[in-house]
Amino acid sequence: MSQNKSNTKKSNKPQDQNYFEKPKSAKFKASRARKPQGKTNKPMDMELESLTVDTVKPTASKKPKTQSYKEYAKNHSEDFGKKQNQQYRQSKAQKNNSYGKNQKKYNPKNRGSKQNNQPAEKPPVRISFLGGLNEIGKNMTLFECMDDMVLLDCGMAFPDGDMLGVDLVIPDFSYVIENKDKLRGIVITHAHEDHIGGLPYLLSNVNVPIYSTALTSGIIGNKLREHSLPKPAQLKEVKAGETVTLGSIEVEFIHVNHSIPDAVGVAFHTPGGTVVHTGDFKVDYTPTWGEPIDLSTFARLGSEGVLCLLADSTNASRPGNTPTERTVSESFDNLFKKAAKKRIIIATFASNVGRVQQIINCAQKYGRKVAFSGRSMINYMSVAKELGYLEMPEGILIDIDMLSRYTPEQVVLITTGSQGEPMSALSRMAYSDHRKVSVGEGDCIIISANPIPGNERTVGNVVDELLKKGCEVIYESMYEVHVSGHACKEELKIIQCLTKPKYFIPVHGEQKHLRAHRDIAVSMGVPKENVYIGDVGKCVELTDEQIKEVKDVPAGKVFVDGLGVGDVGSIVLRDRKHLGQDGLIIVVASLDVYDGHVISGPDIVSRGFVYVKESENLLDEIRKVSREALDECANGNIGEWSVIKNKIRDAVSSLISERTGRYPMILPILMEV
pLDDT tens, position by position, 326-337? 888 888 888 999
**pLDDT at residue 2 greater than cutoff 90:** no
- Report DSSP state, residue 62: P
Alpha helices of 184-284 — where are they, by DSSP H?
193-196, 199-203, 214-224
β-partners of residue 504 are 309, 531
**pLDDT at residue 436 greater than cutoff 50:** yes
Q: Tens digits of per-residue pLDDT, 450-486? A: 887 677 788 889 999 999 999 999 876 666 788 889 9
Confidence at 360, pLDDT banded by 50, 70, 90:
very high
Please report, for the chain, how many H helices and E strands are present, in that order.
18, 25
- Alpha carbon of 491 to those of 127, 155, 174, 265, 367: distances in Å? 25, 25, 36, 15, 38
Residue 73 C-beta-side C-alpha neighbours within 13 Å = 3
- ω into 200 cis (within 30 of 0): no
Query: Percentage helix, strand, coil, to 5, in the chain?
Result: 35, 20, 45
Q: Can you give the pLDDT at residue 563?
A: 62
User: CB atoms < 10 A from the CB of 307, how many?
Assistant: 20
Residue 268 C-beta-side C-alpha neighbours within 13 Å = 34
488: which residues sit within 8 A by CB, 6+ positions away? 282, 315, 316, 318, 319, 320, 321, 322
Average pLDDT over residues 351-362: 90
Say how far apart CA 205 and CA 351 lie, in whole Å.
27
Confidence at 520, pLDDT banded by 50, 70, 90:
very high
Confidence at 7, pLDDT banded by 50, 70, 90:
very low
Say how far apart CA 122 and CA 269 lie, in whole Å.
12
Q: What angle do CA 449, 451, 452 make, to 5 degrees?
A: 115
Q: Tens digits of per-residue pLDDT, 617-651? A: 888 888 888 888 888 888 888 777 788 888 888 88
Q: Can you give the pLDDT at residue 48?
A: 29
Say how far apart CA 262 and CA 525 lie, in whole Å.
32
14: which residues sit within 8 A by CB, 6+ positions away? none
Burial of 439 from C-beta contacts in 10 A (0-12 / 13-18 / 19+): buried
Q: Can you give the pLDDT at residue 345?
A: 94
User: CB atoms < 10 A from the CB of 35, how many?
Assistant: 8
Say what the pTM is: 0.73
Pairing outcome for strands 273-277 and 308-312: parallel
Specify whether the CB–CB gap between 169 and 157 falls below 8 A.
yes
User: CB atoms < 10 A from the CB of 563, how many?
Assistant: 7
Q: Tens digits of per-residue pLDDT, 658-668? A: 888 888 888 88
Q: Can you give the pLDDT at residue 45?
A: 39
Least confident of 230-239, 371-380, 529-538, 583-592: 583-592
List, by residue number, the catalytic residues: 312, 486
**CA 456 to chain CA centroid, nearest Å:** 22
Confidence at 49, pLDDT banded by 50, 70, 90:
very low
Long-range contacts of 329-332 (CB under 8 A, 24+ apart): 329/288, 329/358, 329/361, 329/362, 330/480, 331/479, 331/480, 331/481, 332/358, 332/359, 332/362, 332/481
**pLDDT at residue 416 greater than cutoff 70:** yes
Specify whether the CB–CB gap between 402 and 371 falls below 8 A.
yes
Say how far apart CA 574 and CA 615 lie, in whole Å.
27
Specify whether the CB–CB gap between 291 and 267 falls below 8 A.
no
- Report DSSP state, residue 204: T
